[in-house]
Amino acid sequence: MKITLVQSNLEWQQAEANREILAGMLAQSVTKTDLIILPEMFTSAFSVGTGAIPEAWPGDSVDWMQSVAVNFDAAVCGSIAVEEDGQRYNRLVFISPEGNLAHYDKRHMFRMLGEHKRYQAGEERAVLSWRGWRILPLVCYDLRFPVWSRNTSDLAYDLLLYVANWPSARNYHWQTLLKARAIENLAYVAGVNRIGTDGNDIDYIGHSMLIDPAGEVLLDAEESAGTFTISIDKSALEDYRESFPAHLDADEFELK
C-alpha cells in the first residue's frame, strides 16, 4: 500500500485557505497513492481557545475530503474541529472514494493549552479496514499514552497512524515515541506533523515519519513542506511478526 504524508504550514483559523493550500500541494506532486494523511486540525491549526469556531458536523471540510478521495482514488484522513449536538470534538475523519465515512474523536485532551476545557474527549478507538490493511488512527497527544495505542495480543491492527500539531520544543519526544509505538506494537507507524508558526506563536518543525515494526525509520520528511509517498509491505510485516512473535507473550488487558 502506498501512503502519502502531507506536511504543510497551516493558516490560523482559515479553513478555506488551508483546503486550497493542501489541494494545490496534492495536485502538484501526487499521482498514485492509496492513503493520504493530513495533519491534526488541518483546516484551522491547533486552535482550541475561545476564538475557535468548530465546523458543523459534517461540513465543508468533509465534503472537500470526499472530493480529494475521489480525485486520487485513495482514502483521506486528518482531523478537524467539529461541533455535534452541542459538543465540540477534535475529530479524525477517514473517508474513502466510495464515500464510506468513519471517524475517531481524540481521547487525550492537551490540557497545557486548555483543550480539555473546550473539547469533549472521545471514548472509543476505531480499527478501520482499507485495501487489505487494518488501521488504528489516533491524534497527537494520544501518542504519549501507550495503553491507548496498544495493539492487542491477536494483533488487531497493522498500521498505527497519528495526525499531529506537535511543537518543535518536543521534537525529540515525537520521534522517540513514534519509534517506541512501532516496536512495542509490531506494526508500521505513520506520524504526520505540521511546520511553521501558529496563532499562539508556537513553532512546529515537522519530521513527519514512517517507521517499520522493527523501529527503523523508512521516511523522515524533516523540516520541509511537501507530500511524501512511500510504500509499506504487508508480507514483510507478517514475516517480521512470525520471526519475532513478542505479541504471544503480551499481558492481557482491557481498555475502558
Which active-site residues does the annotation give?
40, 106, 140
Cα–Cα separations (whole angstroms), residue 42 to 7, 47, 93, 160, 234: 10, 10, 11, 19, 29
Among candidate residues 251, 239, 140, the one with its CA nearest the CA of residue 193: 140
Q: Cell 488551508 belongs to which residue?
A: 18
How many beta carbons lie within 10 A of that of residue 86, not counting itself?
A: 6
Q: Residue 135 in 3-state DSSP?
A: strand
How far is the C-alpha of 109 from the C-alpha of 112, rounded, in Å?
9
As given in the structure block, the three cell numbers for residue 228 are: 511524501
The answer to whether 164 and 192 are in contact (CB under 8 A) is yes
Half-sphere exposure of 82 (CA within 13 A, CB side): 23
